[in-house]
Amino acid sequence: MGRFTVIANDAFDALQVDAGVILTDYDITNPYKVPESDEILATTTGGVNPTCTPTYSDYGEDVDNVPNNMMEFKHLDGWEAAMAFSSIKFNAKNSKWALGAAETQLLANGITKVTPRRDVKQTDFKDLWWVGDKANGGAYAIKLLNALSTGGLNIQSTKNGKGTNQITVTGHVSINAQDVMPMEIYDIPPQDIDTYTVTFDSDGGSAVATQTVSAGSTASRPVDPTKAGYVFGGWFSDVSLTTEYDFSTPVNTDIILYAAWAEAFTVTFDMQSHGDAIDPQTVADGGLVTEPADPEADGYTFGGWFKEAGATNEWDFDNDTVTEDTTLYAKWTLV
């Protein structure tokens, strides 16, 4: 490979990618915010073409013996700053931008009327932005100052296709700021996103992996840990276990989450020699037993679950709580 058959290391980082958007408002102090729908002026086709072209005078052009383009005689007259694009968005807002000097009127039947005006008002001049992504995660933004359409309304419809409106807007210098040229260009670096650590203290339970979360994002709820003899009771944001953590909360600092545990007891179902066995349940201290489906046995009718084999006191699944290992007894009546 030749010595000059190379490209710069940042060549691909500096690529501008995709068409970008035309915006009526853009906060350069918060450049990573996704635009709101009402800030997007046009739905474009074929991309956007911002231009900023200088105009010069050559003071030596008519002076004998002075070569053309002598730099000492070059005078910069100004800059022609413009933005051209094809919009497929047909509404009153786009039409007014295309016309520049125009008025809109909402009629009684809900129709919006757009009418060209004979004169230009200072309020017709508005800043316009084009912002496009870069391959490195940054952006490239161009602000056209005091923009006004100079191409007028230029609609092209097509058979079996979409109509387009060719719009050209030009930036203007203000008499109140004659040294401010009508275009500003911003090279926006990739966003430096902070990350934070979410640590899970399982208090003797099975280990739970630490999570690294981008600023403003949320932690993922992990699989519940396990601990012999206990039932998991959720994740809390304080060691005293007073505030249960809400996993929809954005993370903006390092945090530790604490596992809550309740002592577990075993609830056994004694079938009293009839019907199929029912699996035991593990219930937290003070918790309720989940009522199983009624069992069946040939020649018998099931009569409920009781606290003793003699079937004297029936278990209330809605109110009775578990405070120790418990056996519930099936009651059967001979058919």
| DSSP characters over 257-271 | EEEEEEEEEEEEEE-
Give residue 249's pLDDT band: very low, low, confident or very high (50, 70, 90): very high
CB 183 within 8 A of CB 145: yes
Q: Looking at the predicted structure, is the pLDDT value of residue 316 above 70?
A: yes
Give residue 4's pLDDT band: very low, low, confident or very high (50, 70, 90): confident
Query: Which tokens go with 70?
Result: 């002598």
Rg of the Cα atoms in the chain? 37
Mean of per-residue pLDDT scores for the chain: 94
- Domains located in the chain, CATH noted: 16-188 (2.30.110), 195-263 (2.60.40.4270), 265-334 (2.60.40.4270)
pLDDT, position 193: 79
* Closest of 104, 93, 90, 81 to residue 168, by C-alpha: 81
The predicted-structure confidence for 42-85, as pLDDT tens digits, reads as follows: 999 999 999 999 999 999 999 999 998 999 999 999 999 999 99
pLDDT, position 8: 87
pLDDT, position 1: 64
- Across residues 189-211, what is the average pLDDT? 93
Distance of alpha carbon 247 from alpha carbon 169, whole angstroms: 48
The predicted-structure confidence for 122-141, as pLDDT tens digits, reads as follows: 999 999 999 999 999 999 99
Task: Give the residue, 209 or 4, on which the prediction is more confident.
Answer: 209
The H or E element that residue 330 is part of is: strand 326-334
Distance of alpha carbon 164 from alpha carbon 169, whole angstroms: 16
Q: Looking at the predicted structure, is the pLDDT value of residue 258 above 70?
A: yes
Distance of alpha carbon 140 from alpha carbon 147, whole angstroms: 19
